[in-house]
A and B are shown apart, each in its own frame.
Chain A
Amino acid sequence: MVKKLTIALAGNANVGKSVIFNQLTGLHQHIGNWPGKTVEKAEGTLHFRGYEIDVIDLPGIYSLSTFSLEELISREYIALERPDLVINVVDASVLERNLFFTLQLIELGAPMVIALNQVDVAERKGIKVDHEKLSRLLGVPVVPTIAIRGLGIYRLLEVAVETIEKGEVRPRQILYGREVEERIEKLARLVAKVGFKYPARWTAIKLLEGDREVEEAIRKLDPTIISIKEKLAREIEEIHGHPCSTVITSERYEVANRIAEEVQQITPIAKPSLSERLDALTSHRLLGYPIMVVTLLAIFYSIFAFGDYVSTILSDFLYGFEPLFKSVLGEGLLEELIWGGIIEGLISGVTIALPYIVPFYFLLYVLEDSGYLSRIAFLMDVVMHKIGLHGKAFIPVMLAYGCNVPACLGCRIMETERERLLAGFVVTLIPCAATTVVILGLVGKFVGIEWALLLYIVDLAIVFALGRAAFKSLPGEPIGLLMEMHDYKLPHMKTVVNQTWFRLSEFIKIAFPFIVLSSLVIKSIELVGLLEPVSTLLSLVTVNWLGLRPEMGVSLVFGILRKELTLIMLATLLKTTDFGSVLTPVQMMVFALVTMLYIPCIATIAACVKEFGFKKAFFITVFEIAFAILAGGVAFRLLSLLNIP
Chain B
Amino acid sequence: MEIPLSALKKGESGIITSILSASRRGRGGSWGFKKRLMDMGLTPGTEITVTKIAPFGGPIEICVRGSRLALGRGMAERILVRIKREWLRS
B22 close to A (CB within 8 Å):
yes
A283 contacts across to B, CB distance below 8 A:
52, 54, 61
A382 close to B (CB within 8 Å):
yes
Decide if B35 touches A67 in the complex (CB within 8 Å). Answer: yes
B29 contacts across to A, CB distance below 8 A:
476-477
Q: Among A307-315, A334-342, A479-487, A532-540, which stretch is in contact with chain B?
A: A479-487
Bitwise, A229-270 to B at CB < 8 A (1) or not (0) is 000000000000011011001100100010010000000000
B32 contacts across to A, CB distance below 8 A:
67, 479
A246 to B44, CA, bound (A): 8
Decide if B69 touches A382 in the complex (CB within 8 Å). Answer: no
A interface size (C-beta, 8 A): 42
Decide if A97 touches B66 in the complex (CB within 8 Å). Answer: yes
Q: Among A20-28, A373-381, A606-614, which stretch is in contact with chain B?
A: A373-381
Decide if B75 touches A480 in the complex (CB within 8 Å). Answer: yes
A152 close to B (CB within 8 Å):
no
A96 contacts across to B, CB distance below 8 A:
41, 65-67
A476 to B58, CA, bound (A): 22
Q: Which of B3-34 contact A (CB under 8 A)?
A: 18, 22-23, 25, 29, 31-34
A390 close to B (CB within 8 Å):
yes
Q: How many whole Å from B81's CB to the nearest CB in chain A?
A: 15
Decide if A286 touches B55 in the complex (CB within 8 Å). Answer: yes
A482 contacts across to B, CB distance below 8 A:
36-37, 40, 69-72, 75
Decide if B55 touches A484 in the complex (CB within 8 Å). Answer: no
Contacts A94-B67, A477-B22, A484-B69 given; does A100 touch B41 at CB 8 Å: yes
Q: Which of B37, B45, B54 contacts A378 (CB 8 A)?
A: B54
Contacts A283-B61, A379-B54, A382-B54 given; does A481 touch B38 at CB 8 Å: no
Q: Which residue of B lies closest to A209 (CB)?
A: B35
B61 contacts across to A, CB distance below 8 A:
283, 378, 485
Q: Which residue of B lies closest to A382 (CB)?
A: B58
Which 5 interchain pairs have the tightest Cβ spacing?
A480-B72, A63-B39, A481-B72, A250-B43, A94-B67
Residues on A facing B (Cβ under 8 Å): 62-63, 65, 67, 94-97, 100, 209-210, 212, 242-243, 245-246, 249-250, 253, 257, 260, 283, 285-286, 374, 377-379, 381-382, 385, 390-391, 476-477, 479-485
